A = this chain, B = another copy of it.
Amino acid sequence: MSARTTRANGRASRRQILDAAAEIASECGYQGTSISAVSKRSGLPNSSIYWHFANKEDLFTAIINDSYEQWCDELAASRNSANGDGHNFEHLYAKLGQFPDFIRLGLIMTLERPPEGGDAARQRFLEIRRESLENLRTALLSDYPDLGEPQANALAAMTLSQLDGSFVAAMAGETALTPRVLSDAVHTLATSMSAGHAAHVE
C-alpha cells in the first residue's frame, strides 16, 4: 500500500545521463551538445533521455542544478576538513580552479543568446550567480566591518567578475593568476576601501 518506490535502475540511469551530459555540455555548450552524443557517452538510448527529461532545455537546467549542488557539497566538505575558521577567499579561488562543470557551462550560456523558446537553464545559472554575489557581499562585510554598504556591493561585484575572468584566463591557458595573488588583491582592495578611503565609490 506504500507509495510505489521509484525503481532503483531509473535513478541510476538518470545519474549516468546527468554525468555524461555535464561533461559534454561544459565542453561544448548548449548548441554544441547533441542528444545522441549524450546517449552514446552515457550508454543509454535516446529514448531514455527523453523519458527522464522533457527536452534538451530541461536536461540543461538539471545539469546546472545538479552540478552546482555537487560543487557546493564538495566546497562545504573541504572547508570543514581544513581550517574551519571564517571566510577564506584563497580557498574559494583554489576550489574554483578545479573547473566545476556548471561554471564553464553557465558562462557559455551567459554569453550566448538564449535559444528561442525557453531559457530556463540560463536563468537558473543567473539566479545562482545572484546568490553567490549576495554570499560574497555578506562575507566581505563580515571580514571587513569598516566597509560601507556601497563599497561592499562594488567589491563583491568586482570579486565575482574577477572569479569569472580568472576562469576564462585559465581556459585561455594563462597561468599568472594563482589563488594567492587573487585573494591578496581582494584583501588590498577591501582594506583600501574601508574607512577613510571612501573615494572609490561615490
Contacts and interface: CB of A to CB of B under 8 A. Distances in A.
Interface stretch (A44-52, A71-79, A171-179): A171-179
Interface stretch (A1-9, A82-90, A138-146, A157-165): A157-165
A92 interface: no
A200 interface: yes
A20 interface: no
A112 B181 contact: no
Q: How often does this chain occur in the complex, in copies?
A: 2
Nearest to A188: B192
B188 A28 contact: no
A188 B162 CA distance: 15
Contact of A111 (B31, B163, B171): B171
A107 B32 contact: no
A17 interface: no
Nearest to A34: B31
Contacts of A32: 30-31, 112-113, 115
Contact of A169 (B27, B115, B164, B166): B164
Interface of A: 27-32, 104, 107-108, 110-113, 115, 126, 129, 133, 153-154, 156-158, 160-166, 168-169, 171-174, 176-177, 181-182, 184-185, 188-189, 192, 199-201
12 contacts: A29-B111, A31-B32, A129-B172, A154-B181, A157-B169, A160-B165, A161-B162, A161-B165, A161-B168, A162-B165, A164-B164, A165-B165
Given A32-B112, A108-B108, 8 more contacts: A107-B168, A110-B171, A154-B176, A157-B176, A160-B165, A161-B166, A164-B168, A165-B166
